[in-house]
Structure 1
């Protein structure tokens, strides 16, 4: 997949080197190396240029990223793909339940990566799969796919520095009122490669904000909204179990399938600045039907 970016140098960047300028735009070292290796990857005023060259006010700098190979070992498979938003730099997808994000053992042809690979194969485009906010297999909702290494670099950095805001909605057992913050470190459980637990000695810091939205007394279920400050594996599921309100349908932490047959968690909101244009983007996707039971 090819992406060309054109910059007209403003006065505040006068006399910077090309490398200094493109680093100021968020290009990582890895992406800069890729630009150097791409024929005509860096062009100043229609002439190929070295990154050590300086730029002047009014110069036109053209950067071209060109990936001709697709992700190894991802088989293009025709699967449901609900695209909420797409442009030259990213996809926002509403992922269904039962679909892993990445291929793994026993899941090599039923993943979101397979579906995206097929989507671009039909357009005769190469595609490297880069998911910014990976969702667990049974978690539904919004996830971002970067379409080139530059947008991936900027978005990964935004997530790391808490500039990518994620909102989740969930069903939890019991009556949960008001709002609160769970600040409890999480680590892998001893003798397990999958499950996590709150571990005050060896865990990494994990912070979850929650807010109650509704309560169903007959089912004894609460409907809540959550926001994450950190992104630990199974964070919401572990934190809610820790405070005595596990998610129903959670095969790892609370396998009660009375009202729902999968973990009752949905990625409902994403808010971030576009990696190239810096336009503020905001997306919301309502809960699926199987969670609409309160």
Structure 2
């Protein structure tokens, strides 16, 4: 049986006499579900190299190690597809997802996904990992995507997300000029009862909070930075539409501002939304890490067009 590199912890003097279960759950932060899995594997939990039951007491200086069996995604077909890798180590793979690409195979989309490309990449590198995206991005949203290489890392970063300890920032180009330099949209979101695939702001919805700040204003449009406190489906798109500033190119969540912008020639083939930055505590390194991805070509081209229009506008005003 093959294992990933073990996670290790040396018991300090002040923790002598602690029960091994406490060390695993309180110091290594192993969830009960994952602990149950590890206990079933040979050499899954050891103290000084010897397999132990989790109800034994440990001594100062003991080396506690947990080992997880190597896995791979046998149900995902590997495909040699372009993969923009931002960062990779033994614990994590961070990629810059292009717009138009689905993260995980679904019914009717078994190939051409990020998962297919990642599995091929790992096989070529002779690595045995199961595809575990820590979060998802909509098909038409580009940017930073984090993928865990083992269940422990997936659990750790997922819990950081649930606790609001992961800093995610998006860049969005929206119709209309946002007057406030920064603000917060705190409006509940739920499915539209008449169109279940669409989300709407409704008093009976789930709590949803989006923070925004203006990065740059143009005549008729704004480049905004957005941070999420919650992770509802289509949250940014729904909240910006509610604010009166729908995303450029968003065909599902539109409004009068979008129609006016399209008539003026401001449009894209997809919603102008990009996951620009992701920051969290790396479970394997136990330190803060940050990953960024620059604006994709289609959004940059749109900004270039707006800059040209801005110069023409300013010239016409005699600026």
User: Please, which moves more after superposition, 233-242 or 78-87?
Assistant: 78-87
Pairing partner for 1:138 from 137, 140, 160: 140
Task: Give 1:65's aligned residue.
Answer: 68
Task: Give 2:236's aligned residue.
Answer: 236
Task: Give 1:184's aligned residue.
Answer: 187
Task: Give 1:174's aligned residue.
Answer: 176
Q: CA RMSD in A?
A: 1.6
Contact 1:42 1:62 in 2 (8 A): yes
Distance 2:201 2:299 in 1: 26
Aligned to 1:66, what secondary structure does the other structure show? coil
Q: How big is each residue's C-alpha offset from its partner over 1:96-117, in whole Å with a ceiling of 9 and x where there is no partner?
A: 1111111112211011111111
Aligned to 1:2, what secondary structure does the other structure show? coil
Alignment: residue pair count = 290
Residue ranges of structure 2 left out of the alignment (5+ in a row): 304-319
Residue ranges of structure 1 left out of the alignment (5+ in a row): none
Distance 1:18 1:221 in 2: 58
Distance 2:157 2:197 in 1: 27
TM-score, normalised to structure 1, is 0.94
Q: How big is each residue's C-alpha offset from its partner over 1:36-76, in whole Å with a ceiling of 9 and x where there is no partner?
A: 111111111121111111111101112111133x2353211
Aligned structure 1 segments of 4 or more residues deviating by more than 4 angstroms: 255-258
Distance 1:60 1:134 in 2: 36
The 5 A counterparts of 1:64-213 are 64-68=67-71, 70-71=72-73, 73-177=75-179, 178-201=181-204, 203-213=205-215
TM-score, normalised to structure 2, is 0.87
Contact 1:101 1:135 in 2 (8 A): yes
Structure 1 position 133, deviation (Å): 1.9
Task: Give 2:9's aligned residue.
Answer: 7
Which of structures 1 and 2 has the bigger CA Rg?
Answer: 2
Structure 1 position 276, deviation (Å): 2.7
Matched, 1:277 2:277: no
Distance 1:193 1:104 in 2: 19
Distance 2:76 2:252 in 1: 27
Structure 1 position 179, deviation (Å): 1.0
Between Structure 1 and Structure 2, the one with more helix by share is 2
Distance 2:5 2:36 in 1: 16
Distance 1:156 1:87 in 2: 18
Structure 1 position 248, deviation (Å): 1.3
Distance 1:287 1:195 in 2: 27
Distance 1:197 1:233 in 2: 10
